A and B are shown apart, each in its own frame.
Chain A
Amino acid sequence: MSRFIARRLLLLPFVALGVTALIFSLLQLLTPAMRASLYITDPKQLNALPDIIRKYHLDQPVYVQYWEWLRQVLHGDLGWSETAREPVLAAIRGYFPATFELALYSFVCILVLGIWLGTLSAVQKDKIVDHVSRSTSISGASLPTFVWGLVLLMVFYGHFGWFPPGRIGLDADLFVRSPQFHPYTGLLTIDALLNGQWWLLWDALRHLVLPVATLTYFITATLVRITRSSMLETLRADYVRTAEAKGLPRDVVVDKHARRNALIPVITLASLLFVGLLSGVVITETVFNWPGIGRWGVTASQQLDIPAVTGFALIFAGMLVLGNLCADVLYAVVDPRIRLQ
């Protein structure tokens, strides 16, 4: 077990190195002056561009440059973001909680809804529940996130006025910035609870509903399909028939015997879900004006804020690699056969 995890952890630096190499190669497509600007952490330094080129070895061979750049990145020095008007690392730290909050709530909803619907659909194969959940999931896979998000906005914000875009209302925003409010975690819902401000919690939740619904709908679609086909396979297994022959109630067979085993292949496909979630976060944040890393990264790309784009790419690649690592470890935990290999 620990050996399996250790092996995965050993592979991690190589993938991380490769990721930085890929980003570095992409940066080589820029003009030298633009690349020099990557090392500027303060707008005042712009006058001293030739010095910067010398100082950061931009006139040296590529491998020297890569090494120097990598050292900078490892020291947490990712340059100055013009769109955020602060160093990239500080910007990431500032935007991360919003993205994390959105992803966290969506992830919980996706898991609960996807596994529940997938199981239901498999157990009630070819019944009305199955048809409804299948057609919903097929349309969910075909509807682009941004169309779905805009439709939700049109109906629930434009027509009903229930769920506004953004992360927080105006007066709530003022309160959060005031000294009366103590940000413990950066997650507004949790902080509101810790500060004992119920109206703030209500406001934060109201803003969360639509983005979470958007992300949930289209990633759940994938999860329902995977869970359903895996469940169907497991329900045909001999031990399920044995359990039923013993006279166990159907619910117990489905919950204890079938679903636990059916979820193993689902974990191997967790990578698909992470990719969907992380890509979806970027689009959802843009649609709903959610002040997270995704929206910042998109704005930075539009405005050629390359240091920000680099940081944005590194953090998302990091999240995906870590997510996959967690999935692998979880896989080894739930399936003893993996540990023995």
Chain B
Amino acid sequence: MSAVRVPSIAAPGAPTVQRVQPSAWERTLRRFRRNPLSVLGLCIILFFFVVALLAPLLAHPTERNPYMIPHQGYASDPRPPGPGHPLGTTEEQFDLYYGAIWGARSAFVVALTVVGAGIAVALTLGSLSGYYGGWIDEAVMRVTDIFLAFPGLILAVVIVAVLGQSARNAVIAIAVVAWPTYTRLLRAEFLRVRDMEYVQAARAMGVGDFFIIIRHVLPNTIYPIIILASLDMGGIVINFAALSFLGLGAPPGYADWGQLISLSHNWILGTAGDPFQYWYTLLVPGVAIFLFVLGWNLLGDAFQDIFDPRQRGSV
């Protein structure tokens, strides 16, 4: 925030112009603000973050597990928005308002868990592989090759099929799919940085490998990982929702947008004369997930823009 003041050298008597040289942080902020789309993305994500944080206040949990949506009775027909159910109910009377609110919380939990796992694996395997090279590098890279030979969702489907269907296993499956990308990226960054002069200088001073990695290499390689993570957040939530939609993720009644959307699958046809009778069963969770992912995509683009000037204006 602090601006570096450049003392103005001006002839005495001339009007003194205060020239303020913006700091790197200020330049970043200015660039961020200049693009209205990034501001929109940030606003959307902040909104969802607040909703996720205040979920217990916005929608008071009644079940023992707050992620299970409360429902009154088991009547199969969805009910339109009305008193008690501001956004209506879906199949088996699960409250859509509750699902949408707590869905935001589970989306954050899922995405952050997967990103955290991906980064943790990358920090160990990717840094070892990139820093030492040799057979470790070869082994790690060939393993990632194999994981990347699968379309992500298909591998996740197989993992869930083998582990059993639950929200937890779906998160594990998505993390297993996600780690190779993070590892490869961090390795590539390590390769770029490890022979820099300041690393060689540290090595010449007799600094240990561990300290070099932590203190000198890692801080200079972490930005691309942050960009990737922010670009990936939306994709992770889509994948989790897709697994739930396919009946392989969160169980029915779990506060997850994908699961709510799968409950709307049977209600795309209205009655004669009112074809959109059950619009809310699809639209409420659909709009929620769309906005969430859109927010992350806009934010990710903005980060990419700021940290990687070559791409500026191209996305």
Q: Which A residues form the contact surface with B (CB < 8 A)?
A: 14-15, 18-19, 21-23, 26-27, 29-30, 138-139, 141-147, 150-151, 153-154, 157-159, 225, 228-229, 232-233, 274-275, 278-279, 282-283, 286-287, 297-298, 300-302, 304, 306, 309-310, 312-313, 316-317, 320-321
Contacts and interface: CB of A to CB of B under 8 A. Distances in A.
A23 B286 CA distance: 33
B81 interface: no
A154 B265 CA distance: 10
A286 B142 CA distance: 33
Contacts of A297: 154, 157
A144 B241 contact: yes
Contact of A147 (B150, B151, B261, B315): B261
Nearest to A29: B162
Given A154-B276, A158-B268, A286 B158 contact: no
Contacts of A158: 268-270, 275-276
A18 B151 contact: no
Contact of A229 (B149, B264, B315): B315
Most buried by A among B159, B234, B246: B246
Interface residues of B, number: 51
B268 A233 contact: no
A159 B303 CA distance: 41
A312 B154 CA distance: 8
Nearest to B245: A146
Contacts of A282: 153-154, 157, 246
B313 to A, nearest CB: 8
A30 B275 CA distance: 45
A306 B161 contact: yes
B301 to A, nearest CB: 8
B152 A275 contact: yes
Interface stretch (B57-65, B123-131, B198-206, B291-299): B291-299
Contacts of A159: 275-276
B223 interface: no
B135 to A, nearest CB: 16
B290 interface: yes
Contact of B265 (A26, A150, A310): A150
Contacts of A274: 151
B276 A142 contact: no
B110 interface: no
Nearest to B282: A150
A306 B162 contact: yes
Contact of B297 (A14, A141, A278): A141
A150 B276 contact: no
Contacts of A320: 149-151
A14 B165 CA distance: 31
Contacts of A304: 161
Contacts of B147: 22
